[in-house]
C-alpha cells in the first residue's frame, strides 16, 4: 500500500520571485522593480545604463557574516541610498587600490588599516563633498574630497546657511575650475639664450624645485649644457628639448622674484624683451623638438624627464588638469621601464641607478601632491612607494650627502604619510579617532628622521643660500599639509557643531545633523581641530619667513597651493573659533598679504586672493553674540593635542589619550616651586614676526634621547609670528613626562643644588641693579633666546638683559622646574612673572623655559637658555 504522493512545490522563476535590498539608480529613481543584477532586467529592456551605489563598508562586511541584520541597519542602508547627488557621484568614482603597509609600520594594533577606517562603531563618514566643476570648455571635471576647493565649497554652504548670502557664497566662478592658458602664437624659433642666461635659468630651476624634483644630476647637467653650447648642431634633439623645458620652468619660477642682483635683473630684462612670453616660447620649442606625447609608446628615461618637467610647467601656468594628464603618462612610462622596482636598477651603472631612483621619488612626490590637490586617486600604488625612503640613502648618493638628496628623501617620507591619509581617509570617505592617532605617530617618526638643516625653525634663521630656505619651505609645507589633511575632517565636524549650536538647528543644509556621540564630535576627537589650525598657522608663518629672507618665488605652484589650503583653515577658524590660542586675525591678514603679493604675477594666486578677500569680508560682517562665547581650547587640551601628534600616547598607536602632565600629581614629578623677588618679562615687543624656536642639542646622545620621545606639548602657551610656536621644535616636555615612573626623588642632593642655583639666578634676574652680574650665570659662548631676541656670548646677553629693563622698574618670578635622570643637564621650567612698568601700570605673564647646563657644582653655568612668553594672557 502506498501513501499519498507528495505535492510538488512550485518554484517561481527568478524574474518573478527575485527581490533585492539594493536596486540600481535608475530603478530607485523611477520606482521600478529591480532584480539586483548588473545590468538589471529593467535597464536591459529599456536600453539604459545600469549603475549601483557601492554598499557601505560596514553593511558589506555584515552580509559576509552569518548574522541577521536589525531593522535599524536596514534603515541606515536606506538613508545611505537617499544621499545627495554629490555623494552618489563621489561613490561612483573608481577608488585606488588599497595600500600595502608591509615594512612601513602598522597603522593599528592588528596591522590592518581598513579595520580602523571601516566599521560603523569606529569610523564616521566625511562631511566634505566631492565636486564636478566646469572647465570653461563644456566639460565637468572631478575634484575629490581632499581638494581644497571641495573643502571651500563645504565652507561656503556652511557660511551661507549661517550668515546668509554674500559675495563669498555667491561667487560667480564658484562652479568653475579656473585654468590658465598658453597664448604663444609665434612659431618655435629653436634659438637658445646666451650662455650667461642659460646658466642663470638652470640655477633657478634647481634652486626653486629643490625638495620636489630631482630628475637631473646638477653637475652632469652643467657638463651637458657646456657641450650643447660648444656644438649645438651635434646634440640629440631630445636633450635640447629637456634643456628648453629647464629654461621654461626656471624662468617661470624666477622672473618675478625680488631677490635679483643687478646682473640677474639685466639677464631677465634681455629674456623678457619683446612681446612674446619667453617661458612659453621655451616650452613650445621643447615640444617641437621632441614631443614626448607623439612617441609615448617608445618612451625612455628622457621622455619621463620631459613629461615631469611639462607637468611642473603646466602647474606654473595654472593648467592643473593638463598637468594631471601629462603626469599620468609619465607614471605609465616609469612603470614600463621598471623604475618602481629597485632590483630592476641593478643592471645599470651606479650613476644611472641614482637617476632612476631619484626620478621615481620625484614621481611619487608629484603624484601625492597632484592627487591631494585634485582629490583624485593616486597614480602610483602605495606598495610601489620608494622603499628606501625610510632607510638611509647613503648608497643612493654614492656616499655623498647633499641638501638636494636630503630634501627629496624627506619629501618622499612626507608624501608617504599623505598617500596613506588619502587611501585610508579620503578614498574610504571615513575617519576615526583611532586611525588619526595611529597616523599621527608616524608623523613623529618622520620628524625624528629629518636632517637638522631642514628643521622648520631654521627657516627664520639668516643664511646666504636661498636653496636651503626653499628646501626647508617645501619639505615642511608638505609635512604641515599632511597634518591638515588628517585633521581637517575633525575641524569641519567641529565647525558644523559650533554653527548648529549658534543657530539652534541642524546646521548646514544638506548635511546630516551631528551627534555628540559621533567619533568626530567626541571628547577624544577634540585634540585634532586645534592641531589643524596650528599647522595652517605654521604654514603661513613659514611662507612669510621665506618672503622676508627674499627667497620666495612668486610662481611656485606648490607653495601657492599649500598656502591657500592653510589660509582656508585659518579663515574657517576666524568664522567659528575652534582654536583660540592663536592670533587668527593676524594670521588671516598675513595670508591676505601673501596672496596679494603672489597674485600680482600668478593667476591662480590672484584667484585665491579673491576668494580669501570675499571670505574675510563675510567674517567681518558676522554678528558677535556675547551670550555664545566660543569654546576655549584649554591649556591642558593644547598640550594633549601635541601629545597626540608628536608622541606621548605610545609608539604602538594606542587609542587612549594621555593625561595632562601636571595632573599626575606631585609624587610622580621632580619639581620645586618658589616665589622669588622682583619680576617680569619683556613687553609685547618681545614676540614679533620671525621669531625662531630652536632646540639646543649639545651632544648626539642628548639629541637621540629627545628626538626619540615626543617633542611638543606647550605650544599653546608660547608666541611666534601668530602667537604660538611651531609644533615640533619647542620644549621637550614629553621626553620628561613619558618617564614619570623613573623621576628622581624630590630630596636628592642634586635637586637641592639645582634648586639653590635657580633661586640665586632669579634673584639676580629680578634685581634691576644687577645687570653686570646676570651674564656670570652663563658660559662664555652661551646662547640666550628670549622671545624673538637671540644673544650669543656674555656681551650680547648683557645687552638683551639691559634692554629688557628699559620699560619696567620691577619684576618678580615664580617658577617650578622638572628634571629627568635620562637628561641630567637639561631642566624645563614654567611659571609666571609679575612686572611693574615705569608708567605706573602692572601686569603679569606666563612663561616656560628650557635650560641646559654645562659643568657641575660651583662651576655650573647655563650653556643654553630659552624662554617662551605667553603674551596673549597678560
Largest distance between two CA atoms of the chain: 126
- What is the rounded distance in angstroms from the CA atom of residue 611 to the CA atom of residue 589? 14
Phi, psi of 130 (to 5 degrees): -70, 160
Q: Give the three-state DSSP class for 21.
A: coil
The x, y and z cell numbers of residue 559, run together, are 607653495
Q: Give the three-state DSSP class for 771.
A: coil
Q: Give the three-state DSSP class for 805.
A: coil
Average pLDDT, the chain: 73
Q: Does residue 742 surpass a pLDDT of 50?
A: no
Per-residue pLDDT, averaged over 716-726, amounts to 33
Q: Does residue 163 surpass a pLDDT of 90?
A: no
Q: Does residue 736 surpass a pLDDT of 80?
A: no
Domain boundaries, the chain: 13-52, 182-317, 659-873
pLDDT one-digit tens code per residue, 544-567: 988 888 889 989 999 999 999 999
**Of residues 536 and 518, more confidently modeled:** 536
Q: pLDDT at position 36, please?
A: 80
Confidence of residue 128 (pLDDT cuts 50, 70, 90): low
Q: pLDDT at position 657, please?
A: 31
The whole-angstrom distance between residue 216's C-alpha and the CA centroid of its chain comes to: 27
**Of residues 543 and 115, more confidently modeled:** 543
Residue that the C-alpha cell 583653515 belongs to: 569
Q: pLDDT at position 525, please?
A: 79
Q: pLDDT at position 114, please?
A: 39
Per-residue pLDDT, averaged over 361-378, amounts to 96
pLDDT one-digit tens code per residue, 295-346: 677 778 999 999 999 999 999 999 999 999 999 999 999 999 999 988 888 8
Helices (H), 525-658: 528-548, 557-575, 584-599, 603-620, 635-646
Q: pLDDT at position 369, please?
A: 97
Q: pLDDT at position 20, please?
A: 67
* Chosen CATH of 659-873 out of 3.40.50.2000, 3.30.750.24, 3.10.450.50, 3.40.50.150: 3.10.450.50
Measured from the Cβ of residue 628, the count of other Cβ atoms closer than 10 Å reads 10
Q: pLDDT at position 242, please?
A: 93
Q: pLDDT at position 58, please?
A: 46
Per-residue pLDDT, averaged over 866-872, amounts to 65
Share of the chain above pLDDT 70, in %: 67
- What is the rounded distance in angstroms from the CA atom of residue 710 to the CA atom of residue 730? 11
pLDDT one-digit tens code per residue, 460-505: 666 667 889 999 999 999 999 999 999 999 999 999 988 877 665 5
- What is the rounded distance in angstroms from the CA atom of residue 717 to the CA atom of residue 710? 17
Q: What is the DSSP letter of 340?
A: T
Mean pLDDT is highest, among 287-291, 535-539, 760-764, 848-852, for 535-539
Q: pLDDT at position 292, please?
A: 78
- CA nearest to 638, candidates 578, 596, 691: 578
Confidence of residue 127 (pLDDT cuts 50, 70, 90): low
Measured from the Cβ of residue 211, the count of other Cβ atoms closer than 10 Å reads 29
Per-residue pLDDT, averaged over 735-750, amounts to 35
The x, y and z cell numbers of residue 831, run together, are 611659571
Q: Does residue 588 surpass a pLDDT of 70?
A: yes
Per-residue pLDDT, averaged over 804-823, amounts to 84
Q: Does residue 82 surpass a pLDDT of 90?
A: no
**Of residues 705 and 25, more confidently modeled:** 25
Per-residue pLDDT, averaged over 218-247, amounts to 89
Torsion sign, CA atoms 466, 472, 474, 480: negative
Q: Does residue 95 surpass a pLDDT of 50?
A: no
- What is the rounded distance in angstroms from the CA atom of residue 734 to the CA atom of residue 699? 19
Q: Give the three-state DSSP class for 393.
A: coil
pLDDT one-digit tens code per residue, 652-661: 333 333 333 3
Q: pLDDT at position 258, please?
A: 57
pLDDT one-digit tens code per residue, 678-696: 333 333 222 223 333 233 2
Share of the chain above pLDDT 90, in %: 31
Q: Strands, E, within 704-841: which ranges?
A: 778-786, 789-792, 808-820, 823-837
Q: pLDDT at position 691, please?
A: 31
Q: pLDDT at position 308, please?
A: 96
Mean pLDDT is highest, among 444-453, 632-641, 663-672, for 444-453
Give the lowest-confidence range in 49-53, 172-176, 183-187, 516-520: 516-520
Q: Calculate the alpha carbon distances from 466 to 37, 226, 269, 461, 543 in Å.
A: 61, 25, 22, 12, 13
CATH number of 13-52: 4.10.240.10
Per-residue pLDDT, averaged over 188-203, amounts to 88
Q: What is the DSSP letter of 142?
A: E
Amino acid at each position: 500500500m502506498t501513501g499519498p504522493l507528495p505535492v510538488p512545490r512550485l518554484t517561481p522563476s527568478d524574474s518573478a520571485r527575485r527581490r533585492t535590498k539594493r536596486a540600481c539608480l535608475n530603478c530607485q529613481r523611477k520606482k521600478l522593480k529591480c532584480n539586483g543584477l548588473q545590468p538589471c532586467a529593467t535597464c536591459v529592456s529599456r536600453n539604459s545604463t545600469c549603475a549601483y551605489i557601492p554598499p557601505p563598508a560596514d553593511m558589506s562586511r555584515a552580509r559576509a557574516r552569518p548574522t541577521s541584520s536589525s531593522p535599524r541597519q536596514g534603515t541606515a542602508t536606506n538613508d545611505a541610498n537617499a544621499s545627495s547627488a554629490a555623494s552618489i557621484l563621489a561613490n561612483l568614482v573608481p577608488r585606488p587600490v588599497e595600500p600595502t603597509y608591509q615594512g612601513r609600520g602598522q597603522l593599528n594594533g592588528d596591522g590592518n588599516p581598513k579595520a580602523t577606517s571601516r566599521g560603523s562603531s569606529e569610523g564616521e563618514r566625511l562631511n566634505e563633498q566631492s565636486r564636478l566643476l566646469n572647465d570653461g570648455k563644456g566639460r565637468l571635471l572631478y575634484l575629490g574630497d581632499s581638494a581644497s576647493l571641495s573643502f571651500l565649497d563645504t565652507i561656503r554652504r556652511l557660511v551661507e546657511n549661517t550668515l546668509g548670502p554674500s559675495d563669498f557664497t555667491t561667487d560667480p566662478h564658484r562652479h568653475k575650475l579656473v585654468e590658465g592658458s598658453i597664448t604663444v602664437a609665434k612659431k618655435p624659433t629653436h634659438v637658445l639664450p646666451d650662455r650667461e642666461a642659460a646658466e642663470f635659468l638652470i640655477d633657478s630651476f634647481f634652486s626653486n624645485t629643490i625638495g620636489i624634483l630631482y630628475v637631473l644630476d646638477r653637475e652632469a647637467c652643467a657638463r651637458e649644457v657646456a657641450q650643447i653650447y660648444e656644438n649645438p648642431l651635434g646634440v640629440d634633439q631630445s636633450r635640447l628639448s629637456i634643456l628648453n623645458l629647464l629654461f621654461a620652468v626656471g624662468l617661470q619660477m624666477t622672473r618675478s622674484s625680488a631677490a635679483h642682483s643687478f646682473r640677474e635683473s639685466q639677464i631677465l630684462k634681455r629674456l623678457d624683451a619683446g612681446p612674446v612670453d619667453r617661458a612659453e616660447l621655451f616650452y613650445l620649442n621643447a615640444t617641437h623638438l621632441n614631443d614626448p606625447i607623439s612617441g609615448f609608446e617608445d618612451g625612455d628615461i628622457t621622455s619621463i624627464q620631459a613629461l615631469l618637467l611639462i607637468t611642473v610647467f603646466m602647474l606654473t601656468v595654472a593648467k592643473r588638469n593638463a598637468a594631471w594628464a601629462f603626469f599620468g603618462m609619465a607614471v605609465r612610462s616609469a612603470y614600463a621601464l621598471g623604475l618602481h622596482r629597485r632590483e630592476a636598477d641593478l643592471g645599470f651603472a651606479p650613476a644611472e641607478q641614482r637617476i632612476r631612483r631619484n626620478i621615481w621619488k620625484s614621481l611619487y612626490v608629484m603624484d601625492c601632491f597632484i592627487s591631494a590637490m585634485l582629490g583624485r586617486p593616486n597614480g602610483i600604488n602605495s606598495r610601489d612607494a620608494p622603499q628606501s625612503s625610510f632607510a638611509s640613502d647613503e648608497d643612493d648618493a654614492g656616499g655623498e650627502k647633499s641638501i638636494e638628496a636630503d630634501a627629496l628623501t624627506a619629501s618622499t617620507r612626507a608624501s608617504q604619510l599623505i598617500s596613506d591619509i588619502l587611501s585610508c581617509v579620503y578614498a574610504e570617505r571615513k575617519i576615526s579617532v583611532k586611525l588619526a592617532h595611529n597616523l599621527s605617530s608616524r608623523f613623529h617618526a618622520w620628524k625624528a628622521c629629518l636632517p637638522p638643516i631642514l628643521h622648520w625653525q631654521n627657516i627664520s634663521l639668516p643664511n646666504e643660500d636661498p636653496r636651503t630656505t626653499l628646501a626647508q619651505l617645501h619639505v615642511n609645507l608638505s609635512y604641515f599639509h599632511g597634518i591638515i589633511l588628517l585633521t581637517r575632517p575633525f575641524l569641519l565636524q567641529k565647525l558644523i557643531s559650533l554653527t548648529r549650536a549658534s543657530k539652534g538647528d541642524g546646521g548646514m543644509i544638506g548635511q546630516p545633523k551631528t551627534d555628540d556621540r559621533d567619533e568626530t564630535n567626541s571628547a577624544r576627537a577634540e585634540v585634532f581641530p586645534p592641531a589643524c589650525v596650528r599647522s595652517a598657522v605654521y604654514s603661513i608663518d613659514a611662507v612669510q619667513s621665506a618672503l622676508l629672507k627674499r627667497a620666495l618665488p612668486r610662481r611656485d605652484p606648490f607653495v601657492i597651493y599649500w598656502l591657500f589650503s592653510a589660509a582656508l583653515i585659518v579663515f574657517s577658524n576666524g568664522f567659528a573659533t575652534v582654536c583660540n590660542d592663536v592670533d587668527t586675525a593676524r594670521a588671516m591678514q598675513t595670508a591676505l598679504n601673501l596672496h596679494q603679493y603672489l597674485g600680482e604675477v600668478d593667476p591662480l594666486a590672484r584667484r585665491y586672493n579673491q576668494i580669501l578677500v570675499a571670505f574675510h569680508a563675510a567674517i567681518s560682517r558676522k554678528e558677535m553674540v556675547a551670550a555664545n562665547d566660543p569654546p576655549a581650547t584649554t591649556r591642558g587640551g593644547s598640550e594633549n593635542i601635541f601629545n597626540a601628534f608628536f608622541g606621548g600616547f605610545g609608539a604602538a598607536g594606542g587609542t587612549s589619550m594621555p593625561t595632562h602632565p601636571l595632573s599626575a600629581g606631585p609624587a610622580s614629578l621632580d619639581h620645586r616651586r618658589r616665589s622669588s623677588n622682583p619680576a617680569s618679562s619683556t613687553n609685547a615687543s618681545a614676540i614679533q614676526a620671525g621669531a625662531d624656536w630652536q632646540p639646543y642639542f649639545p651632544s648626539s646622545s642628548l639629541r637621540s634621547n629627545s628626538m626619540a620621545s615626543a617633542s611638543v606639548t606647550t605650544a599653546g602657551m608660547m608666541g611666534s609670528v601668530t602667537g604660538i610656536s611651531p609644533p615640533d621644535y619647542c620644549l621637550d616636555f614629553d621626553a620628561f613626562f613619558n618617564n614619570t615612573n623613573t623621576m628622581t626623588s624630590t630630596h636628592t642632593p642634586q635637586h637641592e643644588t639645582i634648586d639653590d642655583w635657580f633661586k640665586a639666578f632669579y634673584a639676580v634676574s629680578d634685581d634691576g641693579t644687577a645687570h653686570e652680574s646676570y651674564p656670570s650665570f652663563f658660559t662664555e659662548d652661551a646662547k640666550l633666546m628670549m622671545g624673538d631676541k637671540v644673544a650669543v656670548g656674555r656681551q650680547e646677553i648683557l645687552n638683551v638683559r639691559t634692554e629688557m629693563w628699559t620699560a619696567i622698574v620691577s619684576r618678580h618670578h615664580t617658577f617650578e622646574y622638572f628634571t629627568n635622570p635620562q637628561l641630567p643637564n637639561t631642566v624645563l621650567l614654567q611659571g609666571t612673572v609679575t612686572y611693574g612698568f615705569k608708567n605706573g601700570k602692572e601686569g603679569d605673564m606666563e612663561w616656560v623655559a628650557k635650560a641646559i647646563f654645562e659643568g657641575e657644582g660651583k662651576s655650573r653655568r647655563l650653556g643654553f637658555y630659552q624662554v617662551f612668553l605667553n603674551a596673549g594672557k597678560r
